A and B are shown apart, each in its own frame.
Chain A
Amino acid sequence: MTPARKLLLQKILAHSLLIAFIVIILSPFAMVVAASFRKGNFAPSKIFLTPQELSLEHWKFVLGIPYQEVVNPATGETRTIQAGSPPLGWFWNSIKVSAAATIGIILLSGTAAYAFSRIRFKFRRRILTGLLILQMFPAVLMLVAYHTILDDIGQTARWIGLNTHPGLILVYLGGISTNIWMIKGYFDTIPASMEESARIDGASHFQAFLRVLLPMSLPIFAVVFILSFIFFMTEYPIASVVLTNTDTYTLAVGANSFLGEQEKLWGRFAALAVLSGVPITVVFLLCQKFVIGGLVSGGVKE
């Protein structure tokens, strides 16, 4: 075999392998998309739909648009269907909660990471290790405790108790230790001389943090923002315990409410699932220009 042919063969082999992987990864996604456009309620099972199966009924329901449904095929009797508490409201709930929690996470973990990275204080290392160990326990273990705590808080401050968004955000804000570690790791790679230089230039600790360290750390903050946002958009266990009123549901909780014991409304579930991907994609596109490396390069020479 000539070297050229061998190379061609290798390329074909490598590419078919890669394509196979992509198909494996994408097909479940395609099945969900297909299910959301499929007439009737079928669990996601097909990738391609025949034109007869195509229907926008689930999307209309999810988006709160009234549509006609045939009740009795024999007489051709129809009825108008419109979602009671519109799933679009859950969508906004999810975006509100995710955005607020993510911004809170960024503020808390960013400042904490700064302290852990730059300030020497007693028990610094132990607290850092403690954070890591605490994070190893799954948050689900604490569900009951969260419920009780929020219930108690709700007795005095209704607006932050059970079944409220601020309450849910409060619980979400507890999950910052991995983010602290991540941001601290990034801060550690930025030489201290950057802020020292800023301090000689006359900046206070806070100004040095805000005007020098923060802009240099945009990539890691973008990563934390994306990861947290995706996590909160899709988080189910905590939200399902905290939120019990359909009006306050987030997308994940709302979507799950379509999968009842008796009736599993897969079509609506699929449409909601696809819908929840939209803000995640938007956030990702917005943030990705910050996630470029090399933002730090050029300021110092190692």
Chain B
Amino acid sequence: MSEGAVEIKNLVKTYVDDRGRPTFTAVKNINLHIDDGEFMVLVGPSGCGKSTTLRMVAGLEKVTSGTISIGDRVVNDLEPKDRGIAMVFQNYALYPHMTIFNNMAFGLQLAKQKKDYIQETVGRTAKALGLDTMLERKPQALSGGQRQRVALGRAIVRHPTVFLFDEPLSNLDAKMRVQMRSEISKLHVQLGSTMIYVTHDQVEAMTMGDRICVMRDGIIMQVADPLTLYRQPDNLFVAGFIGSPPMNLLKGKVEQREGGLTFVENGEKEKGAVTVPLKGAVQAAASKCVNKNVVFGIRPEHITDQATDGTHIPITSSVEISEPMGSESLVYLKAGSGPLIARIHGEHLFHLGQQLTVQLNLDKAALFDSETENVVR
């Protein structure tokens, strides 16, 4: 195994109270392999165990059972400093009583490095991060973006094999966040180190990750590269979590009708419940769940006003809300359970209540089993 690869095997974390009684299992037996030099994003809603997993890799939480290896060493019982990792915290965690220079040099000083070396390394890193003019200041005198850059610099000077990021951009304003996002991505290209990045923001996950690990309730839901995750979600949770606006998910049944298999949405037809004849790529999946409860999933951009390549099915419904955004509009169409969101290109204005016929691209649609919540392929 190469130096910076991280292997997580059957990892469990159960928290205990003061008396040692188990209170809460945050991570439930997960397995994850991260390649050397890979940018892996752990994403999920709060409480899904992503931060706990990261903190176990860092050595800040004890592992309940299972193993974590970095390179070919099992690091379960190693001190954080001996694991070859560096971590960037959400709240920066800079030492307020030290200058920026000392903040960045602290780790090297503790490791008893030579003064010249510390001076040189910190100076070079600070210059690369644009911090060289403020080395004598205290963190208090810096803006949020600059502070997070110091935290980044403090991680870089340690030359870790694995970088750990715990929601590092959550405290920054929107503009700064976009800028730091690309800086971290650039850093990954420059250093080529393994990076594990925890976030709850699916946009960050999609834009930064080589691969993304989606978690929920201490379980890994899917691990894949961003596009696979987007195109072929394994389950309802991933389908709903990735993408904004989220994938349309209609509850209903697959029925055998004249002309083939048909998806029939729950609810009355008069109130807008849709029926979709299942053709194209989704037909094969449908044949496996005739007369079963399913969820029909289709992304907003695959509901358009004009049919292009592929298998398209027209449906007509009334407009409930329309959000024109210039080059495209998000149109909320009436359906049986909740709205059906369509992303329609071009500069259009739609009025409420207007009848609109849209084309569903069935080649891009997916069916999920209602019981297991897994995709049917």
Q: How far is the CB of A142 from chain B (nearest CB, A)?
A: 30
Q: Interface residues, chain B, CB within 8 Å of chain A?
A: 18-20, 58-60, 79-81, 85-87, 89-97, 106-107, 110-111, 138-142, 144, 147, 154, 158, 171
B60→A215 contact, CB < 8 A:
no
A295 to B95, CA, bound (A): 10
Residue of A nearest to B166 (CB): A193
- CB of A297 within 8 A of chain B? yes
Given A198-B95, A207-B110, 14 new contacts (CB under 8 A): A122-B18, A193-B90, A193-B93, A194-B93, A197-B95, A197-B154, A198-B106, A199-B81, A200-B58, A200-B85, A200-B86, A299-B139, A300-B91, A301-B91
* Chain A, 109-126, CB within 8 A of any chain B CB: 120-125
Q: How far is the CB of B217 from chain A (nearest CB, A)?
A: 24
B96→A196 contact, CB < 8 A:
no
- CB of A263 within 8 A of chain B? no
- CB of A212 within 8 A of chain B? yes
Residue of B nearest to A197 (CB): B93
Q: How far is the CB of A26 from chain B (nearest CB, A)?
A: 37
Q: Interface residues, chain A, CB within 8 Å of chain B?
A: 120-125, 191, 193-194, 196-203, 207, 211-212, 215-216, 294-302
Residues of A within 8 A of B139 (CB): 298-299
A199 to B80, CA, bound (A): 7
Residue from A196, A203, A212, A299 within 8 A of B92 (CB atoms): A299
Residue from A123, A125, A300 within 8 A of B93 (CB atoms): A300
- Listed A/B pairs (20) with beta-carbon separation below 8 Å: A122-B18, A122-B19, A191-B91, A191-B93, A196-B60, A196-B80, A196-B93, A197-B93, A200-B80, A200-B81, A201-B110, A202-B110, A202-B111, A203-B81, A295-B96, A298-B96, A298-B139, A299-B93, A300-B92, A302-B91
Q: How far is the CB of B371 from chain A (nearest CB, A)?
A: 41
A224 to B28, CA, bound (A): 45
Residues of A within 8 A of B19 (CB): 122
A194→B95 contact, CB < 8 A:
yes
A212 to B147, CA, bound (A): 17
Residues of B within 8 A of A125 (CB): 18
Known: A198-B106, A200-B80, A203-B110. A216 touches B96 (CB 8 A): yes
A193→B96 contact, CB < 8 A:
no
Q: How far is the CB of B92 from chain A (nearest CB, A)?
A: 6
Residues of A within 8 A of B110 (CB): 201-203, 207
Residue of A nearest to B170 (CB): A301
Q: How far is the CB of A10 from chain B (nearest CB, A)?
A: 38
Residues of A within 8 A of B97 (CB): 215-216, 295
Residue of B nearest to A124 (CB): B18
Residue of B nearest to A217 (CB): B97
Residues of B within 8 A of A122 (CB): 18-20
Residues of A within 8 A of B144 (CB): 301
B18→A200 contact, CB < 8 A:
no
A299→B111 contact, CB < 8 A:
no
Residues of B within 8 A of A296 (CB): 96
A297 to B59, CA, bound (A): 27
Residues of B within 8 A of A193 (CB): 89-91, 93
Residue of A nearest to B140 (CB): A298
B158→A201 contact, CB < 8 A:
yes
B154→A299 contact, CB < 8 A:
no
A197→B89 contact, CB < 8 A:
yes
A300→B20 contact, CB < 8 A:
no
Residue of B nearest to A126 (CB): B18
A121 to B18, CA, bound (A): 5
Which of A194, A301, A302 has the most C-beta atoms of chain B within 10 angstroms of its own C-beta? A301
Residue of B nearest to A301 (CB): B171
Query: Which A-B residue pairs are the 4 nearest by beta carbons?
Result: A298-B140, A299-B96, A201-B107, A202-B81
